[in-house]
Structure 1
């Protein structure tokens, strides 16, 4: 009779270890399963994928239920083992039970099922989902109570946890997946840049990609019509801003096709042309508009061109549909575009850049991650970090790069040399370099 009871106890311990392995493997599989793949399988008619998707949506409750079940079976198994070994070995049975159960739980109920689950989390999750759904339903009320107690305890220590708080937004999850695929060789740099540019549209403003007004090519409506036509045909752009009276008083946009149609209708007689009747009215957008909103506005309005104004209504520059698309696909060039000469790689690994080159462009070209939160151009970044307008031949070191000011015109930095330290940039993925660590090192011996 005693032997039968002992065997029942041993059998109960083994069953509990199997249940513990089930809870541990299920937790690993369901937290590592691909939500995108489950969504596709659900659309294809797999009911178990729908169960997995619903479990993942309530991840906090899922993990709570699995942890609760795991702890219950582990504690019960340990108690039975202690009772068993006490009856066999007396007081020494406590130590023996602790050693034996530690080995069994770690090997059989933790490491082995989790290794199995992580090797193919999607298949494992589909297999255990029906049973896990029952576990979550049974332990749900208890888990809700535990969650409330935990939040109350954390609130005592000043930590407030939102019920619907998400650790990562959808954009962050996608960005992390793209970066991970690139690191593992699944995505080439060009594809990663395109996907990253698409994800950045909601975070960037039109002021980040606009053509500054100092670089705008515009036509004066008050000039002779023949000169306007010559200037419009000689320009490398299809659309030209028009100003009247003052250079920042923009009154319209002239399209080259509309100009040619008007010339044909007038039989080439410039005196019969009225440029303002040909031009389209100007469209002004705030400089704080996100690229995603501006792209939607371009598509809705069926327009490709807008003036960018600041909070005082002053024109700061212009933005086009092509400027936004270039943030996704990279530089778009055609036979009429002027060759960009703002970035010149050197044999020693450094890069000579014009001060007006956007930080995002040089980051994309060289796979760097210079911060562009406080400045748009590379010259603006140096001035922001230096907290001054540097002199020529001054050298600054920050964010893992050495910046040498090669040329300055009045208060503008027009040319710099950028040298990555140790031949490459040192950075932590997902972490923005700390601007406060920048240091200024004037060097009278450096050459322009």
Structure 2
């Protein structure tokens, strides 16, 4: 009897160790950084290569570890119950339940997971052989279990695609960056830059373009000397030129090309601006910023004319506009580092109507929605469902919007004042 008892206790100890390994492996594989493992794999680490291959079948691997973990726990509970009931009778079931629960919670849950989470990559590499063994032994059972789960979910109308991850790589990276910022490891400016980079695929050129009403362009039909003078006085290095109508863009003139022409013949009245201008590049207003950035780099271009689905000119977008969407505007010495925004002494903000909502959110750490409107004036019009009059005020998103100036149907200037909780309740 003593020999049998010793064998049973030894078996339980082995099962506890196995449960420790199953839990530790699961925690390490889940918490390990794919980027760090990829770097180790590129440096020739065979264990990192093994973990990366296992990660490619993460559903099957985690299912295998879970099945193995539950099997050893059930077997350990059964052995403990058998031993303690033989020693203490029916009350031994209670002793077995309490003992097994305490042992497994401490030594097969808290301890291995804490150990794995301290150094997830090193732990994953150390346990890669065990993970591979579990994957081979329990992998088929995991596939069967996953198939049953998908079938049951399908009965309730839920379709779970095995190819589609629950979180995209962008979502995972964004979440990691936000955690770093909360922990104080990343300042807000860096968070904004990374967020701007991740948002490139979600934004379209129409969200950041210079609207046609704000475009600085030149009429090619004007006298040559006047055209040259207008281009040289422009603060921009590239100027669109048009003929007949401001929407009929026939070319884009680079200041360097104009200066070369003037150097060859220092008589502005002899300059034919259409011969200097380059062919304009037209892009749809629905093009994502990611695609447009790649197109700029591929064509080695800096400016494109934005058109809608009917071919009508909507504005222009530059490479600098996209870069500023990532790094933010160049700061000046004002309190608020956004052009067209001024901080008042009473705490209110005076904003030009054309200021993009995203720029305002970034500068002031606000969360105004930008799904239905691009500019702050557009947001007020959308929320009020009208074109407000001057001095008309609205309250939404815990802020007071006062129309300061309106030109025809355009809101050109607003005053925004954040309101406190008590004031918000009173206004509502």
> Structure 2 length as normaliser, TM-score?
0.93
Contact 2:218 2:239 in 1 (8 A): yes
Aligned partner of 2:212 in structure 1 is 213
Runs of 5+ consecutive residues of structure 2 not aligned to the other structure: none
The answer to whether 1:136 aligns with 2:135 is yes
Contact 2:64 2:135 in 1 (8 A): yes
How far is 1:313 from its partner? 0.8
Call closer, same or farther: CA 1:349–1:237 in 2, change over 3 Å: same
How far is 1:314 from its partner? 0.6
Q: Say which is worse superposed, 65-74 or 377-386, in terms of deviation.
A: 377-386
Call closer, same or farther: CA 1:75–1:341 in 2, change over 3 Å: closer
- 2:370 corresponds to which of 369, 372, 375: 372
How far is 1:161 from its partner? 0.8
* Partners of 2:426 and 2:160 in 1: CA distance: 42
- SS at the partner of 1:375? coil
How far is 1:139 from its partner? 0.9
**Per-residue displacement from partner, 1:351-388 (whole Å, max 9, x unpaired)?**
22111101111122123332222111011112222222
Aligned partner of 1:119 in structure 2 is 118
Contact 1:395 1:440 in 2 (8 A): no
* Partners of 1:111 and 1:302 in 2: CA distance: 56
Aligned partner of 1:103 in structure 2 is 102
Contact 1:221 1:242 in 2 (8 A): yes
What are the residue-to-residue correspondences of 1:226-305 with 2, within 5 Å? Answer: 226-266=225-265, 268-305=266-303
Call closer, same or farther: CA 1:98–1:318 in 2, change over 3 Å: same
- SS at the partner of 1:153? helix
* Partners of 2:51 and 2:406 in 1: CA distance: 61
How far is 1:422 from its partner? 4.2
* Partners of 1:439 and 1:409 in 2: CA distance: 33
How far is 1:207 from its partner? 0.6
* Partners of 1:394 and 1:441 in 2: CA distance: 15
Contact 2:338 2:359 in 1 (8 A): no
- 2:409 corresponds to which of 408, 411, 420: 411
* Partners of 1:64 and 1:402 in 2: CA distance: 53
Call closer, same or farther: CA 1:341–1:50 in 2, change over 3 Å: closer
How far is 1:408 from its partner? 2.6
Contact 2:241 2:252 in 1 (8 A): yes
Aligned partner of 1:168 in structure 2 is 167
Contact 2:338 2:363 in 1 (8 A): no
The answer to whether 1:63 aligns with 2:95 is no
Aligned partner of 1:345 in structure 2 is 343
How far is 1:272 from its partner? 2.2
How far is 1:23 from its partner? 0.8
Call closer, same or farther: CA 1:218–1:302 in 2, change over 3 Å: same
* Partners of 1:110 and 1:421 in 2: CA distance: 48
How far is 1:54 from its partner? 1.7
- SS at the partner of 1:248? strand
What are the residue-to-residue correspondences of 1:55-94 with 2, within 5 Å? Answer: 55-94=54-93
**Per-residue displacement from partner, 1:132-173 (whole Å, max 9, x unpaired)?**
111111111111111111111111111111121211111112
Q: Say which is worse superposed, 45-54 or 405-414, in terms of deviation.
A: 405-414
Call closer, same or farther: CA 1:52–1:191 in 2, change over 3 Å: same
Call closer, same or farther: CA 1:333–1:112 in 2, change over 3 Å: closer
Q: Say which is worse superposed, 382-391 or 36-45, in terms of deviation.
A: 382-391
